[in-house]
């Protein structure tokens, strides 16, 4: 079905085993991803999944990288997001620049880095000073942060962080930063769009993990919970919906690992993720509304993933791609 | 509909705008704390006016439009009152005055760990012993559970061939020996409301604590839900409107004009309008004492789904700008609307049952 070979299957088992043993998402959400978890992720080669071996990374191919993102998302979308930010956003911005050597410390978990993909207006002066506000950034407690202004730049710590509570990817710190920091240019172009575009499949892998995690929970619950003397799985509307969702999950997995058009894959993932995560909450009844049952987190993260990465802009790109021309949207 | 209450509506809205500021709402949400100070303040508004249920409906809608966690918290201290009002004895009805005045907080315990949709199969027992009943069992997800002075409780008093024939309702004083409430934490939304798991360990109830007749409890509770669901529809309507307010504000202040967003605005506002029509229409029958439960269930289910739809749309349209806690809180609050007082699935079962009966 999914075009995965023996080696891929071994990797799947390894990641699952790691997650089963080490990941308690409720704790991660409460305490944030700490030093211990960082070292664990580094020692498994997850933090530097795509970073070259020159910098202590695992230099994995796309399929293996996606397996890691998918499997970890089933347990902890927060950890998957962290890995994604390093490998899909930060690394492409710094590779082949003077910053590239920092990747050693990133893949070994020694330093935290971040990328601001939500804002694009800062003031840069000629003394290499950047000011302005970074609103809503994941991982603000970083050594340096990639920013996209007219150019692609890197701001250097220390950062003045105003930490905030946030409903999604809660394992990562979140907040605003009041910038008054030194910066360096890493590219004369703003590379945000091409970096994000190149990460569509990676985001789809995270989405697939969330979808799969949510459906697994729902299916399991439907087999053990009874109402009116029958298992939930024996009620048509519930079984039909779950089966439909399960088939969507498998279609997504198949198009992702068979490397179909990344625009289509990402659209399919974003189109199904919220509905599926929401339904998983529904089927758990009152329990679904509580953290302890480990399903509402998928709903929160699904909505946040979509809010951040999938809006009108991405739909325009999809349409341009389908029409093979830049459409003149009114 | 209900236009005669426009001034009252405005009074409530002004109260909510003044008291339920973003900072206050965020604080209670973060701390998962019941806003008892706001409950007391809200008493002056005359919301809990059982002679005039339209006022309750409007108050719930307007309060939830500003913040559902706080809005629901201040309007649930009388949750369950209709059971006493309709089926209680004189003394129990008299007692309600102390609930309306804010002296006592009330709650309703039906759901159990083993199930909420399937009310007929609850397991809590009230075993008759002389002229007393001995209450044993547990209840789950009970709103006000850890702060209530009294609870209306459904329990099994006899084992009948049809299980729903063996149920009775009681008014339980939470100070009695054997009562334990364990506050549940970690809710997705409506975090200012108090939710608890309850255990009853050989609680001695007197025969005067029985509400109405023995064996009629299931019927009383179903009658109650057919009323209370209209208030959930109003909660949901308020949440949907609140989400839409955020969208409109964002679209206008950023001068967003693209057609996809315009279509979104049209879709959301249409659904909200339909929810409002359904809710007010069902309410108008109910408030004339001509209840049409299928209409109430339609309103509850549809408004609930609309609250979820609108709040998800707010997250989507505002995109990264939705990441501030005042928008995401609306999203988190909305989901409960599809769960409590009958999940959307249960509402659908009720609707089709009534339609097929030709009522
Ligand atoms: C915050 C909160 C506050 C609450 N407050 C109160 C309160 O004050 N008092 C009180 O008594 N209860 C309260 N509840 C409980 C609430 O009413 C129940 O959670 C709800 O009725 C669902 O029951 P359940 O959780 O047992 O789910 P279940 O009954 O186990 O249902 C699980 C899932 O199966 C679906 N399902 C069940 N039967 C069928 C069927 N025949 N066909 C199709 N689908 C079906 C349901 O829709 C649901 O999706 C509260 C719940 C929460 C979360």
Whether residue A105 is predicted with pLDDT greater than 60 in this model: the reply is yes
Per-residue pLDDT of chain B (359 residues; tens, 9 = 90+): 789 999 999 999 999 999 999 999 999 999 999 999 999 999 988 887 778 899 999 999 999 999 999 999 999 999 999 999 999 999 999 999 999 999 999 999 999 999 999 999 999 999 999 999 999 999 999 999 999 999 999 999 999 999 999 999 999 999 999 999 999 999 999 999 999 999 999 999 999 999 999 999 999 999 999 999 999 999 999 999 999 999 999 999 999 999 999 999 999 999 999 999 999 999 999 999 999 999 999 999 999 999 999 999 999 999 888 887 789 999 999 999 999 999 999 999 999 999 999 86
ipTM of this complex prediction, to 2 decimal places: 0.96
Once rounded to an integer, what is the mean pLDDT over residues A33-43? Answer: 95
A2 to chain B, closest Cα gap in Å: 31
Give the pLDDT confidence of A222-251 residue by residue, as tens digits. 999 999 999 999 999 999 999 999 999 999
Show me where the domains of chain B are located: 3-75, 83-215, 219-356
Burial of A99 by CB count in 10 Å (0-12 exposed, 13-18 middle, 19+ buried)? middle
pLDDT exceeds cutoff 70 at A1: no
Q: Which are the contacts of A191, defined by CB distance < 8 A and separation ≥ 6? A: A92, A93, A148, A152
CA A320 remoteness from chain centre:
25
Domain ranges of chain A: 6-107, 113-190, 199-323
Determine which helix (DSSP H) or strand (DSSP E) holds A231, and give its type and residue range: strand A230-231
Distance between CA atoms of B39 and B74, rounded to whole angstroms? 5
Which residues in chain B have their CB less than 8 angstroms from residue A299's CB? 188, 335
* Sign, Cα dihedral of A98, A99, A103, A104: positive
Rg, Å, chain B Cα set: 20
Provide the pLDDT for residue B60.
Answer: 97
Q: Which residue among B118, B189, B328 sits closest to A228, beta carbon to beta carbon?
A: B118
Query: Dihedral angle at the C-alpha atoms of B346, B351, B353, B357, nearest 10 degrees?
Result: 160
How would you class B140 by CB atoms within 10 Å of its CB: exposed for 0-12, middle for 13-18, buried for 19 or more?
Answer: buried
Does the C-beta of A218 come closer than 6 Å to ligand 1? Answer: no
Please report the atom of ligand 1 found closest to the CA of residue B107: 8
Report pLDDT for A2.
60
Average pLDDT, integer, range A33-40: 94
Q: How far apart are CA B305 and CA B279, in angstroms?
A: 13
Round the CA-based radius of gyration of chain A to a whole number and report it. 20
Q: Whose CA is nearest to atom 4 of ligand 1?
A: B141
pLDDT, average across residues A93-116? 95
Task: Quote the strand ranges of B162-291, DSSP E.
Answer: 167-173, 179-183, 195-206, 210-211
Angstrom distance (rounded) from CA A24 to CA A20: 8
What are the phi and psi torsion angles at B185 (to 5°)? -115, 165
Q: How far apart are CA A1 and CA A260, in angstroms?
A: 14
Q: Report yes or no: A181 and A145 within 8 Å, Cβ to Cβ.
A: no
The full length of chain A comes to 330
CB-CB contact of A85 with A145 (8 Å): no
| pLDDT at residue A191, rounded to an integer | 95
Per-residue confidence band for A110, with pLDDT thresholds at 50, 70 and 90:
very high
For the whole prediction, is pTM greater than 0.90?
yes
User: What's the CATH number for A6-107?
Assistant: 1.10.540.10
Q: Can you read off the two tokens belonging to residue A92? A: 């492409």
pLDDT of residue B146: 98
CA A297 to CA A292: how far, in whole Å? Answer: 10
Domain B83-215 has CATH 2.40.110.10: yes
* Mean pLDDT within A306-314: 93
Strand B195-206 vs strand B150-156: parallel, antiparallel, or unpaired?
Answer: unpaired
- The average pLDDT across A212-226 equals 98
Inter-residue contact B196 to B183 (CB < 8 Å): yes
Rounded Cα distance between A280 and A167, Å, is 18
What is the average pLDDT across A203-218? 98
**First-residue to last-residue Cα distance in chain A:** 41
Give the three-class secondary structure for A75.
Answer: helix
**Unique residue bearing structure tokens 């950034």:** A137
Distance between CA atoms of A117 and A269, rounded to whole angstroms? Answer: 20
CATH of domain B219-356: 1.20.140.10
Q: Summarize pLDDT for B179-213 with one digit per residue, the tens.
A: 999 999 999 999 999 999 999 999 999 999 999 99
Q: Is B110 in the pocket of ligand 1 (CB under 6 A)?
A: yes
Residue of A nearest to B341 (CA): A286
Please answer yes or no on whether A286 and B116 come within 8 Å at the CB atom: yes
* Cα separation, B306 vs A81, whole angstroms: 30
Helix (H, G, I), strand (E, B) or coil at A327: coil
Instruction: Report the distance separating Cα A273 and Cα A299, nearest Å.
Output: 9
Fold of the domain spanning A199-323: Butyryl-CoA Dehydrogenase, subunit A; domain 3 (1.20.140)
CA–CA dist A147, B177 (Å, integer): 62
Interval between CA A276 and ligand 1 midpoint (Å) = 19
Largest Cα span, chain B: 73
């Amino acid at each position: 079905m999914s075009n995965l070979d023996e080696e891929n299957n071994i990797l799947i088992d390894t990641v699952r085993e790691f997650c089963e043993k080490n990941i308690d998402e409720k704790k991660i959400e409460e305490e944030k991803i700490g030093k211990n978890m960082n070292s664990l992720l580094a020692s498994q080669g997850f933090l530097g999944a795509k970073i070259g071996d020159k910098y202590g990374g695992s230099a994995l191919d796309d399929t293996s990288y996606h397996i890691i993102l998918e499997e970890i998302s089933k347990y902890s979308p927060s950890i998957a997001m962290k890995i994604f930010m390093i490998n899909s956003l930060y690394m492409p911005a710094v590779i082949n620049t003077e910053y590239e050597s920092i990747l050693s410390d990133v893949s070994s978990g020694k330093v935290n880095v971040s990328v601001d993909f939500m804002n694009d207006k800062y003031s840069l002066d000629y003394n290499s000073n950047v000011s302005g506000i970074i609103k809503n950034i994941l991982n603000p407690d970083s050594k340096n942060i990639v920013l996209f202004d007219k150019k692609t730049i890197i701001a250097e710590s220390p950062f003045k962080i105003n930490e905030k509570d946030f409903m999604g990817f809660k394992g990562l710190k979140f907040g605003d930063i009041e910038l008054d920091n030194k910066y360096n240019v890493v590219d004369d172009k703003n590379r945000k769009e091409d970096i994000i575009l190149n990460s569509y499949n990676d985001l789809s892998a995270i989405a697939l993990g969330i979808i799969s995690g949510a459906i697994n929970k729902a299916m399991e619950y439907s087999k053990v919970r009874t109402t009116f003397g029958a298992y939930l799985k024996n009620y048509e509307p519930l079984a039909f919906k779950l089966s439909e969702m399960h088939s969507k999950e498998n279609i997504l997995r198949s198009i992702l690992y068979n490397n179909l058009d990344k625009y289509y894959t990402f659209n399919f993932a974003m189109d199904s993720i919220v509905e599926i995560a929401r339904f998983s909450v529904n089927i758990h009844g009152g329990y679904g509304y509580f953290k302890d049952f480990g399903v509402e987190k998928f709903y929160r993260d699904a909505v946040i993933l979509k809010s951040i990465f999938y809006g009108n802009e991405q739909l325009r790109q999809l349409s341009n791609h389908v029409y093979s021309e830049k459409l003149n949207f009114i | 509909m209900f236009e005669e209450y426009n001034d009252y509506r405005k009074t409530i809205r002004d109260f909510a705008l003044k008291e339920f500021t973003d900072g206050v709402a965020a604080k209670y949400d973060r701390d998962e704390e019941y806003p008892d100070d706001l409950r007391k303040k809200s008493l002056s508004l005359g919301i809990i006016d059982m002679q005039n249920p339209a006022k309750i409906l409007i108050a719930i809608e307007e309060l939830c439009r500003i913040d559902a966690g706080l809005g629901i918290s201040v309007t649930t201290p009388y949750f369950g009152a209709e059971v006493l009002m309709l089926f209680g004895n004189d003394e129990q009805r008299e007692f309600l005055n102390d609930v309306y005045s804010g002296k006592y907080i009330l709650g309703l315990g039906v759901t159990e760990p083993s199930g909420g949709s399937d009310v007929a199969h609850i397991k809590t027992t009230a075993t008759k012993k002389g002229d007393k009943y001995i209450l044993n069992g547990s209840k789950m997800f009970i709103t006000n559970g850890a702060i209530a002075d009294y609870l209306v409780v459904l329990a099994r008093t006899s084992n009948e061939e049809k299980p729903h024939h063996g149920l009775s309702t009681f008014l339980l004083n939470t100070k009695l020996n054997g009562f334990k409430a364990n506050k549940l934490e970690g809710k997705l939304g409506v975090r200012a409301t108090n939710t608890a798991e309850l255990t009853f360990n050989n609680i001695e109830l007197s025969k005067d604590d029985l509400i109405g007749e023995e064996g009629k409890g299931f019927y009383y509770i179903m009658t109650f839900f057919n009323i209370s669901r209209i208030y959930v529809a109003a909660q949901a309507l308020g949440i949907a409107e609140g989400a839409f307010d955020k969208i409109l504000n964002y679209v206008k202040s950023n001068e967003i004009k693209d057609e996809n967003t315009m279509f979104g605005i049209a879709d959301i506002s249409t659904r909200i309008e339909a929810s409002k029509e359904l809710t007010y229409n069902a309410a108008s029958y109910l408030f004339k004492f001509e209840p049409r439960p299928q209409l109430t269930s339609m309103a509850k289910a549809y408004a609930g789904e609309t609250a979820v739809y609108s709040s998800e749309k707010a997250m989507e349209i505002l995109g990264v700008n939705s990441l501030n806690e005042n928008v995401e809180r609306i999203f988190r609050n909305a989901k409960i609307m599809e769960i409590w007082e009958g999940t959307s699935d249960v509402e659908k079962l009720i609707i089709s049952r009534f339609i097929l009966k030709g009522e």
